[in-house]
Structure 1
Amino acid sequence: MSEPKDGVDSVRPLQWQDGALRVLDQRKLPDQVVYEEFAGASGVAEAIASMRVRGAPAIGIAAAYGVVLAARDRYAANPDAWKDDIAEDFGILAASRPTAVNLFWALDRMREAIASIAGDPTPALLAVARAIHEDDIRANRRMGELGAELLAGSTGLLTHCNTGSLATGGYGTALGVIRTAWAMERPAVFAGETRPWLQGARLTVWELEQDGIPATLIADSAAAWLMKAGKVQWVLVGADRIAANGDTANKIGTYSLAVNARHHGVKFMVVAPTSTIDWKTPSGDSIEIEQRSKTELLGSHFLREGSVIDAWNPVFDVTPAGLIDAIVTEAGVVRNPSQGGMQALRR
């Protein structure tokens, strides 16, 4: 597995070691740095569903390793029928998070590999999973270069959620662009808290601290005022699914940032690998939005029996392509994305 190469890439959330997947439990950051080991597909699926693993690219990578574990177990139990038996494991992994298209992309890659395997599947499938992991890191570094070119001269950048090494195989998508830009021009970096899971407050600023990159945390509701004050020229976000026309599903709160950015003349950038583009989904209207439990929002007082208070907890929202100034992928940059511009990435 690729190790960090420099002082601005020091975190690895997923590690294959001694026949198991080691997962950095992101729920415990920044107070505790705890890796858990998973030796079966159901455990990996639970790690994804429980938010130990999060971020679309990281979810896909974890799922690929989950297939390796499933194939090993199924082959050991029944060498003649393992290809049929593993369908159950694919179903469990696919159900872990419905919005992140990288999950299904990675499972498709593993399914295609299985079709041509004879004998013990573990070595061949592990090679595919490792390639997915390594390719993601390389793609992130390329996106960092392409995105940073657009930021030339910027003095302030705002990011939402966590799009760094913790959300990917390493280096990061939107945070990878910020890493590259900071190494070149040292712009001020602002991070929103990203409620209700506080990925910005717990994860993004922790990552930046590990690499010695100064950052300022803001409440999500302070973003518009920050823009009005002229503190930022770009908002940079990742994506969990990009429709064929450029509409982008990302962490809840992204849409409001895009609306505020357009009002204040601030540019808006989405950074994601091409594996995040769902060419089968024509627009954002067709993207399934995951709804999580009300317990993530409500305190115990309102969870008691008989309470009349409920909570609405969508995890993602969809930003229309018309509010996006640039989509940066490892295959190139699409400015002012549209159906035609997006199609250029397929060539």
Structure 2
Amino acid sequence: MGRLFQLQRIEFSNNSFGGGIPNNLSRCSKLEWLNLIDNNLTRNIPAELGSLSWFGTLALSTNKLSRTIPPFIGNLSSLFQISLFECNLHGEIPVEVARLRGLKYVWLFENNISGKVPSGLYNISTISVLSLAEDQLEGNISHDIGSTLPNLKFLDLVGNLFTGTLSTSLSNASELESINFAENDFSGTMPRDLGKLWGLIFIIVYQNRLQDDVTFISSLTNCTSLQVIEVGSNLLRGSLPDTIGNPSTYLFWMNLEMNQIHGSIPSGIGNLNLTALSMSINNLAGPIPSSIGRLHKLQALFLGHKKFTELPSSLGNLTLLTTLTLEENIIHGSIPPSLGNCHSLLELALS
């Protein structure tokens, strides 16, 4: 048994272990990695683990700990990964976490963590992944977040109570690939310099209170890796820019639904490679441009609750289409016979 105390790595994930985490693990003084993810562990994280100076990874996600994140976590000077998602944790993120100067990965999503994010967490320049989704966190996020976290690649704050405006410093995190601020209470405008993030793949700000002009889409032209623009359920206004067809050729999902966008759909929309497009519940009007028929990969098209007047015959070119919703418009004339070419169509709404 004495040799066990020389353990450097423990991997017991995806089992059915119950009870508490043994406090005598602290006797494994050389322990660097503890992975107990996806078990039935309960109670607290033993304070004795705070003495493990070589500890690099604490992975206890998908358990039933139902306690708080212990302050002693700040004593684990070698810690670079915290994985505590789906643990029923509550309370606040301890301020002591700011002492972890080598921290790279922070996974705390889907708990009941509340309060504000400690300001010191934003000053750990090594952080690459910050996932605080589906908690009950509140307050503003740091306006310097992109400058103080220059190595940030993945930022996920969906489903919290954050307020204030979006930081204009995000573009300083030059390696940023994913931004998810959905289902919060952010207001103001979209940062116009996000176009500097050439590696940006996802921009998701669904269901907030952004009051911006929708022409911010033009600022994303240089994001050549962009795959998802998800800004539905805000207060976006203005007309769609002609440059809407200029973003990344990788863009497959665009959601602008439930805003206050007016005018017509620019013909440039046909330059994209979308598989899904939603513009429902806006103030768009006029004929649907025939160029929409160039979206040969399109599988879902949501254009309901607007003031469209005509259906182009080019809709028949969308042979992969499974969903087409056009309810509550003012469309006149006949249904284009070419629509019969859409052999994959499962849902058609013209009410």
Structure-1-length-normalised TM-score: 0.25
Give the structure with the higher percent strand.
2
Structure-2-length-normalised TM-score: 0.25
